[in-house]
């Protein structure tokens, strides 16, 4: 399964989407990063590749946010209650 991990990185604390070892984007909000990750995961799913979006804290805690074939598309949820606090950011 291809996993799109939404996380905060760096000093700026901007949101990123991590796929494997590659990092994409610099988003001002968690919600914007989730939307882009869901769009990409949806396209993968349409091509027959199992995919999901997770929220990943720097301590490794994960929360599955969206799974192709299980959750509605386009993504319409409100921003996550699972947020990453300032002390969980990488520096």
Residues belonging to the chain: 91
Number of helices followed by number of strands (H, E) in the chain: 1, 5
Give, as one character, the DSSP assignment of residue 7: E
Q: What is the pLDDT of residue 79?
A: 52
Identify whether the C-beta of residue 6 lies closer than 8 Å to the C-beta of residue 37: yes
As given in the structure block, the two tokens for residue 24 are 């994409």
User: In a structure prediction context, what are the per-residue pLDDT tens digits for the chain, which is 91 residues long?
Assistant: 999 999 998 777 899 999 999 999 999 999 999 999 999 999 999 999 999 999 998 888 999 999 999 999 988 765 554 555 545 544 3
CA 20 to chain centre: 12
For the whole prediction, is pTM greater than 0.75? yes
């Amino acid at each position: 399964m291809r996993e799109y991990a939404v996380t905060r990185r760096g000093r700026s604390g901007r949101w990123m989407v991590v796929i494997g070892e590659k990092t994409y984007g610099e988003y001002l909000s968690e919600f914007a990063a989730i939307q882009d990750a869901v769009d990409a995961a949806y396209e993968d799913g349409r091509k027959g590749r199992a995919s999901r979006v997770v929220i990943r804290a720097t301590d490794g805690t994960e929360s599955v946010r969206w799974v192709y074939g299980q959750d509605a598309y386009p993504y319409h949820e409100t921003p996550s209650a699972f947020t990453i606090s300032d002390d969980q950011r990488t520096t």
